Amino acid sequence: MKRGIKEWAVRVVILLVGLCIAHLGVTLFLLSDLGSDPFNVFVQGLFRTGERITRWEILTHGRTHVAVSLLIVLILLAVDRSYIKIGTALCMLFGGPIIDFFTRILTPLFTAAGMELRIVMLVLGCVILAYGMTIVIRSDAGTGPNDLVALVISDKTRFRFSVTRVAVDALFALCGFLLGGTVGLGTLVCMFLVGPVAGVFLPVNGRIIEGIVSRFFPS
């Protein structure tokens, strides 16, 4: 039992490292100001539709994001609760503050960025996001609700994660666009880049993380 708790703690630390890396990528993506990621296009579309229908001032993009995330968690609890771990809550809790932290640090560096630099930031942000996301996933301590959608579908259908991620992101973007969300260059780059890059890094980071854990807890 003691070893189990210690190993779980190591995996949570690895998850938090991956979460920081992933959200550094998200921050670069957002600062490029070339469009939202597919999941947030979906959230934006839901928010705008809800705002038009209900006229509720209480609705915001952030609250809609939380509501959608909670709905995904509830569905997964019904489908296969083994995917919902402490890391899922940590991703939901710390994702925003980490992005805010990196935004405060990096915004002054890119306030006058030209289009060329913004495109580099966009691509680099997507690659860093994909790399950090695979650390979070392979930590086996849980992952964020929006990333879980592609992960669960990939596990259940045996399709490659990279292909599944592109398909899920495309569905998020399409639904969001039809609901009134805004699709930009960044949306398309994120949709077609994050999945394939994550597919490359998943097995690599899986071996690295298991090697780290085995050093702390040799058989």
Q: Is the pLDDT of residue 13 over 80?
A: yes
The one-letter amino acid code at 113 reads A
Whether residue 18 contacts residue 134, with contact meaning beta carbons closer than 8 Å, is answered with: yes
pLDDT confidence of residue 219 = 61
pLDDT tens across 51-79, in order?
A: 777 766 667 767 888 889 889 999 998 88
Select the more confidently predicted residue: 58 or 120.
120
Residue 11 half-sphere exposure toward CB, CA atoms < 13 A: 21
pLDDT confidence of residue 204 = 95
Residue 60 half-sphere exposure toward CB, CA atoms < 13 A: 4
Q: Residue 169: pLDDT band by 50, 70, 90 thresholds?
A: very high
pLDDT confidence of residue 55 = 67
pTM of the model: 0.86
CA distances from 149 to 55, 65, 75, 82, 92 (A): 30, 15, 10, 13, 14
What domain range includes position 192?
2-216
Tracing tokens 């609250």 back to the chain, one arrives at: 63
Mean pLDDT within 16-32: 91
Determine which of 25-29, 49-53, 94-98, 204-208 has the lowest per-residue pLDDT on average: 49-53
Q: Which residues contact 31 (CB under 8 A, 6 or more apart)?
A: 103, 106, 107, 110, 113, 121, 125
What phi and psi values does residue 22 have, to the nearest 5 degrees? -60, -40
User: b/e map of 111-133 (b: 16 or more CB within 10 Å)?
Assistant: eeeeeeebbebbbebbbbbbbbb
pLDDT confidence of residue 1 = 42
The total number of structural domains that make up the chain: 1
